[in-house]
């Protein structure tokens, strides 16, 4: 009967004995079994934050990343909305001033008789 010879280096023998008796559990990721997306049933890598097909959140880190991204987008929208409102006020004021200037120019060009006739 043939036997298999295993050679251990350094601390490997004690680690494998502790694992064999269940004292120490080796913490390794199961890379052969994919993490299945609950939304679209697509297999993803074990460390995936988002599903590669439907972009659903697959881990807590992905959830945190999505929340941070959403907060950044909301703050950008608020900033752009404030800038838009400020620009609109500036443009309205400039338009009012331009209209006043044009009206005053028209009034100075008209003869005073026409103005007084129009008022009576």
- List, for residues 3-32, the tens digit of each pLDDT value: 666 666 666 667 777 777 777 666 655 556
Name the strand (E) or helix (H) holding 43. strand 43-44
- Whether 70 maps to a domain, the answer reads yes
Model pTM score: 0.47
- Whether 106 maps to a domain, the answer reads yes
How much is the pLDDT for 82? 97
How much is the pLDDT for 92? 96
Alpha carbon of 81 to those of 31, 75, 86, 87, 95: distances in Å?
A: 47, 10, 9, 10, 21
88: domain range? 30-119
Number of domains, the chain: 1
- Whether 108 maps to a domain, the answer reads yes
Alpha carbon of 116 to those of 60, 100, 120: distances in Å?
A: 79, 20, 6
- Whether 80 maps to a domain, the answer reads yes
- Whether 53 maps to a domain, the answer reads yes
How much is the pLDDT for 1? 47
How much is the pLDDT for 4? 66
Number of other residues whose CB lies within 10 A of the CB of residue 44: 19
Low pLDDT (below 70) residues in the chain: 1-13, 24-32, 111-120
- Whether 13 maps to a domain, the answer reads no
């Amino acid at each position: 009967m043939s036997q298999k010879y295993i050679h251990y280096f350094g601390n490997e023998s004690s680690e494998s004995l502790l694992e064999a008796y269940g004292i120490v559990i080796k913490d390794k990721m199961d890379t052969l079994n994919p993490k299945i997306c609950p939304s679209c049933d697509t297999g993803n890598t074990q460390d995936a934050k988002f599903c590669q097909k439907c972009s659903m959140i697959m881990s807590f880190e992905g959830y945190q990343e999505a929340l941070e991204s959403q907060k950044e987008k909301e703050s950008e929208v608020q900033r752009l909305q404030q800038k838009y409102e400020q620009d609109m006020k500036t443009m309205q004021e400039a338009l009012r001033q331009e209209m006043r200037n044009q009206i005053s120019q028209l009034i100075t060009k008209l003869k005073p008789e026409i103005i007084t006739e129009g008022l009576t």
